[in-house]
Amino acid sequence: MSHPILFLRSLLFALILLVVTPVWACVCFLVAPLPYNKRYFVTSRWNVFVIWLAKVLCGIRYQIQGYENLPDQPVILLSKHQSAWETIFLLCKMSRPLVFVFKKELIYVPFFGWALGLLRMIPIDRNKGKDAFAQVVVQGRKRLADGQWIIMFPEGTRIPVGQSGRYKGGGARLAVETNTVVVPIALNAGECWPKNSFIKKPGLVTVSIGKPISPEGLNAVELMQQVENWIESEMRVISPDAYPAEPAQKQ
């Protein structure tokens, strides 16, 4: 597909979202008094629409592998992070409401951030260090007890296709502190929706869900190493051209 066509499709995609998002945010404000599960459902319809629009307009299809690995119990999802696509997709495709741990500045983004603030997410101030993590543990316990799932991106930020970021231990520490199993997720959304790129490319995104890993008998470092080993090995399976060499397994 030629670059001008990709540009026009991406432009139309952006313009439609520019119109739809403020309307969606207003609907979210109207349903704010509803019970949380209903409010979450209404809010996540924006995510469903964006994934559908990306498929129809930009040709971004997807497949999920390992969905049966998601247990019917509290879990912490630890996912590869390449794109904005997975933050939209995972929220509306998981079997339980998700709780994102994110920098509090996102709350101030017009419309999108305001609507996000109506959900039971965990905004943190990264400048507070240990105090910020202590707040994550306190809020995380409440969310898990309420039946929600917590999702974190161990690499912290979107990593370009073919690369691996430094895996931070916050998610594993939370799992150990709360004795909650973790579920690793590998995905290659960056091949279609690249980081910091306006152009959306047609293609198939694979979301691969690994088997749950129990924190029993592990410290946070050991748990995160298992998560990293699985995710980075799985990236070589779903994106063999981008990740040609098998990484050394950390012990």
The CATH number linked to 63 is 3.40.1130
Given this model, what pLDDT does residue 114 score? Answer: 75
Instruction: Report the domain count for the chain.
Output: 1
Residue 243, domain member (yes or no): no
Given this model, what pLDDT does residue 110 score? Answer: 79
The answer to whether the CB of 195 falls within 8 A of the CB of 158 is yes
Please name which of 95, 76, 78 lies closest in space to residue 86, comparing C-alpha atoms. 78
What residue numbers bound the domain in which 59 lies? 3-238
Pairing mode, strands 75-79 and 149-152: parallel
- CB under 8 Å to 149, separation ≥6 — which residues? 74, 75, 76, 77, 94, 96, 97, 98, 99
Residue 224, domain member (yes or no): yes
Residue 103, domain member (yes or no): yes
Residue 245, domain member (yes or no): no
- pLDDT tens digits in sequence order for the chain, 251 residues long: 668 899 999 999 999 999 999 999 999 999 999 999 999 999 999 999 999 999 999 999 999 999 999 999 999 999 999 999 999 999 999 999 999 987 777 777 777 777 777 788 888 876 766 677 888 888 999 999 999 999 999 998 999 999 999 999 999 999 999 999 999 999 999 999 999 899 999 999 999 999 999 999 999 999 999 999 999 999 999 999 998 776 555 55
3-class DSSP state for residue 84? coil
